[in-house]
Amino acid sequence: MTGTDTHSNAPIGVFDSGVGGLTVARTIVDQLPHESIIYIGDTANAPYGDKPLAQVQEYAKAVADELIARGCKLIVVACNSASAAFSDYARENYDIPVIEVILPAVRRATSTTRNGKVGVIGTTATVESGAYARTFDAHAGQIGSEVEVHQQACPLFVPFVERGITTGRQILGITENYLEPLKDAGVDTVVLGCTHYPLLSGVVQLVMGDDVTLVSSAEETAKTVYRTLSERGQLADTDPDREVTLSFESTGDPARFASLATRFLGPAITSVSQIPELLR
């Protein structure tokens, strides 16, 4: 499938089932301030994390097709559950870059770990998909360096983040319970395998200790976007008079999306438009 407009000033398309992918969008804005972005939160079908992967793939395809139809030069699947379900399909069926959040984080974690033991925390769907374990195995085959992967589902993290609860005794206790197996396994690196989780990096670091390195899939994905556009000669021009647009859209209630989004992107969210649900 071919995008309709892949010149350098075309927008970057970013999507997630909801607001979590805004941590990716925010990092892209920070690293690439001259790029225009269309962000779609598929909140009508959220959350993706507790749905079958085949269904998630259909939702992701519908949103990606919409972004391509609008002329995006690159698409970011800013959702670990959608990345697990959609990445193979995207690589086979699209001829513009589609960047997901799993491989960039795996690359960083592999290069960061000192003892070869890496923890991955994510939604139940992401963990059960085995996508991180497969990606670590594939990457190890490419570089000749194996990693022992320990995965832990943290299903309560997303609702806590969306309620704005990122500190306090309750979230600390939940985090200690979730991360105990990773501490027992002796991991020295933990991948924040959900785009909501950077907002919990403080409590995760506190529980794991300062000797454990946290890898943000959002941060590493933004770096991959920068590198990909640079290699393709598609970085937007830096003319200060050229308008840069940041568009935020939701397939569900835009008011609720905007309220949640301010926790992830702050005052940059000035308005949210509603678009029709793309796959019913």
Do 177 and 134 lie in one domain? The reply is yes
Looking at residue 140, which CATH number applies to its domain? 3.40.50.1860
**Is 89 inside a domain boundary?**
yes
**Is 269 inside a domain boundary?**
no
Do 93 and 232 lie in one domain? The reply is yes
- Write out the binding residues for substrate: 16-17, 48-49, 80-81, 195-196
**What are the 10-residue block averages of pLDDT along the chain, 280 residues in total?**
63 94 92 96 89 92 97 95 90 94 95 96 88 92 85 95 94 98 98 93 98 94 96 94 92 89 68 77
**Is 271 inside a domain boundary?**
no
Do 24 and 161 lie in one domain? The reply is no
Do 155 and 226 lie in one domain? The reply is no
Domain count, the chain: 2
Q: Is position 154 annotated as part of the catalytic site? A: no
Tokens of 272: 């949210």
Instruction: Tell me what pLDDT residue 50 has.
Output: 79
Q: Which domain holds residue 211?
A: 103-217
**Given 19, 29, 56, 79, the catalytic residue:** 79
Q: Is position 79 annotated as part of the catalytic site? A: yes
Do 108 and 86 lie in one domain? The reply is no
Instruction: Tell me what pLDDT residue 269 has.
Output: 57
Instruction: Tell me what pLDDT residue 98 has.
Output: 96
Q: Are strands 189-192 and 213-216 parallel, antiparallel or unpaired?
A: parallel
**Given 194, 207, 229, 236, the catalytic residue:** 194
- Write out the binding residues: 16-17, 48-49, 80-81, 195-196
Predicted TM-score (pTM) of this structure: 0.87
